[in-house]
Structure 1
């Protein structure tokens, strides 16, 4: 009996010292699908400074407008001075009959440093991290297929892939910033060179009226 009791104690002791795998109830977020309005759809991307991204997408054929804002976090009513865990993001309003979501994804990766973590160019930090948002499983597959192709080409893709939940529009003075301030130092030194580099990679998608 004493031997049995000793064995039981040894088993219990070894069990207590064995790391227990933690169970996580965290589930993949359910993406929010934004309704088509007047034949136009919306896509959401974070890729560094939203001034740069806005200018890039507004130059693409089929894109009606790009709006600067914040997404990817949990903070309610974010502002430029306090957007906490959100990243600078852009809402892309486009005509799917003219330009596909797949092309917008191609534009996304062609217009950034694919491997830069938490930033783009001189803009460093989580506020400038790359996030590509999906609203449904079809979009998610398009994104994953593109990332797989880039990975096969040897890139270490830094962009997060997240279910879209909410987009917060930034302050008025951020909208059309590059267009309204073409001679501003950042626009001249960062935005325009970034746009030119993108345009050289995908000249066929650029509106004929746009140039720098």
Structure 2
């Protein structure tokens, strides 16, 4: 399978704020939340699409990136990669589980392939950063590419080999390649967080710049409305 090389994205630490820094035992304040009209799908409608799972830092950022990609129908923020059942945001964000913040991507395979989703994944974060993305530190922010079958596993491994053979990065790729087990959807207030909270300091200083860097390097992958 021929896989096109993607541009190397330099991941810059923009601020000292982090996705975890605003975690409290209570629900985060949403005073700045704005109304956003989003296409909604019933569970029955989503069943006709394929799913893919990735973790690459704060799920607010990752969800927004994948939602900008054509062929992607819906993205949910949640938790995966650990063994604890029904984890909460407080537990995961404070490193009290073995789960990572992750996303569930519903996509139309006739419009976008799993291979391209893997390219989006590697091209939108730093896969050489161990247990960290930008200002977010801890194993809950680690890089994981999940696979549901051997074909997907091969796509991921082949792409990692390609990136390494082309010396795209100056350091070894530390992304976990992990068989998918289960995904726990995060609390409702985390869904579409970036779009609904554009004035949040973390969103302004980390999420939106990260999304814009991705858009600049993957213009041909974007939905028309996100150009």
More displaced 10-residue stretch of structure 1: 199-208 or 161-170: 199-208
Other-structure match for 1:23: none
Match of 1:89 in 2: 102
- Which position in structure 2 is the counterpart of 1:133? 146
Distance 1:68 1:157 in 2: 24
Provide runs of 4+ in structure 1 moved above 3 Å. none
Asked if 1:169 corresponds to 2:185, the answer is yes
Aligned residues: 176
Q: Are 2:46 and 2:106, in contact at CA under 8 Å, matched by a contact in 1?
A: no
**Partner residue in 2 for 1:203:** 219
Aligned alpha-carbon RMSD (Å) = 1.2
* Aligned counterparts of 2:222 and 2:139: Cα–Cα separation in 1: 30
| Alpha-carbon distance in 2 for matches of 1:159, 1:183 | 31
How far has the Cα of 1:182 moved from its partner?
A: 1.1
1:10 is aligned to: none
Q: Which has the larger radius of gyration?
A: 1
* CA distance, structure 1, for counterparts of residue 47 and residue 80 of structure 2: 24
The CA distance in 1 between the partners of 2:159 and 2:165, in whole Å, is 10
Measured after TM superposition, the shift of residue 38 of structure 1 is 4.4
Per the alignment, residue 19 of structure 1 pairs with none
Q: How far has the Cα of 1:153 moved from its partner? A: 2.0
- Partners of 2:142 and 2:47 lie apart in 1 by 32
Greater RCO (Cα-Cα under 8 Å, separation 6 or more): 2
Query: TM-score, structure 2 length as denominator?
Result: 0.75
Q: 1:59 aligns with which of 68, 87, 90?
A: 68
Matches within 5 A, 1:8-87: 38-83=47-92, 84-87=97-100
- Tell me what 2:159 maps to: 146
Distance 2:141 2:77 in 1: 13
